[in-house]
Amino acid sequence: MTADPVAIARDLIRCRSITPQEGGALGYLQGVLAQAGFAVHRATFAEPGTIPVENLYARIGSEKPNLMFAGHTDVVPPGDEANWHHPPFGGELADDKIYGRGAVDMKGGIACFVAAALDYLAANGGRPKHGSISLLITGDEEGVAVNGTIKLLQWAAERGETFDHCILGEPSNVETLGDTIKAGRRGSLSGTLVVTGRQGHVAYPHRADNPIRGLVTLIAALQAPLDDGSEHFDPSHLEFTSVDVGNETVNLIPGQARARFNIRYNDCHSPIALKTLIERRAQTAAAGRAHYAFEWQPSNAEVFLTKPGPFTDLATAAIDEVTGRKPKLSTSGGTSDARFIKDFCPVLEFGLVGQTMHQVDECAPVADLRALTAIYRRIIEKYFATTR
């Protein structure tokens, strides 16, 4: 390897880039990539009520096809740093692992695809044989995700940039490097169920209308299965995450009860159709006896799927050649920035093993960093050998 993914990961981890702070991480990448011949751009986006977020786009080559690697340098807070055995922003090496916030999610993944790209370029005279390699790095993935990838993609498109395929370096593997590619993601839709009654004294319930009764009935109805799953996705499900009546008095029947929920849904539904289904179920369950309403939150997390095909086969073959494992194509888990990228090109998620992400003493095995770099390197080589 002409570039060391462990050293790059260490330097990135040492940047305190807690969402939405850049923390020096993008500046570090800018220096590394510019030295290798990439054209590097920094773009800052903001909108009312949000903190400005810095992002980075880099490209080497001007021809098609354009293979993009994408990721985020922002990380979640470490919590109480006294609970860490290794400093969360130290990038320390111990027991053949690198420790620190972002080691897995996902500065480690970025380090690997940067090292792979640099190694490929060094072996080919400093330029792609044909086509282009681009890197799209955001500082807003762990936050509200409104000033990051979605706007950076739009910014790039306005400049005439187009993308043919993308590897997103999120920690996709479950147990062992090479076991899972994320080929799609379920959609996410959140809301609040509000049931309104009539406040009153508990000793005289006939003079009141307890909204908790209606809320319990509706919760039971809405948690019934939403579908039986589809060819590529597990069944959709609705989960209630909080119930609140705001009542600190034991002898008072409240006037209102609220319950928050989240739905992770598959390709059997669109957001509009899903809302209609939920509201129809509530109407049937209420049977005119409960007065209720839904407060739906805006969502930019729709379901998507990159169907099996040549690009998936190429990535699977590269993983198999390095690890000896044929990865499962999965659509499980939460959302990611792939939900934005899929509108511009087919995208697959493949990165490190995600077991310690967001945990105290987050860490990645050094062997996995080197193996992931080799996989990305093989993907690049195969991609430009086959997409002529």
Which positions are catalytic? Answer: 74, 141
- CA-based diameter of the chain, in Å? 85
CA angle 200, 205, 210 (to 5 degrees): 70
Q: State the DSSP string of 309-359.
A: SHHHHHHHHHHHHHHS---EEE--S---THHHHTTTS-EEE--SB-TTTTS
Q: Are 36 and 123 in contact (CB under 8 A)?
A: no
Q: Which residues pair with 59 in a beta bridge?
A: 39, 134
Q: What is the Cα–Cα distance from 23 to 246, expressed in whole angstroms?
A: 40
Tokens of 374: 């080799």
Q: What is the Cα–Cα distance from 82 to 103, expressed in whole angstroms?
A: 18
Backbone angles phi, psi at 261, to 5 degrees: -150, 160
268 burial (CB, 10 Å; 0-12 / 13-18 / 19+) is: middle
Among the residues of 40-161, which ranges form H helices? 107-123, 149-158
User: Look-up: residue for tokens 């972002």?
Assistant: 102
Backbone angles phi, psi at 279, to 5 degrees: -65, -35
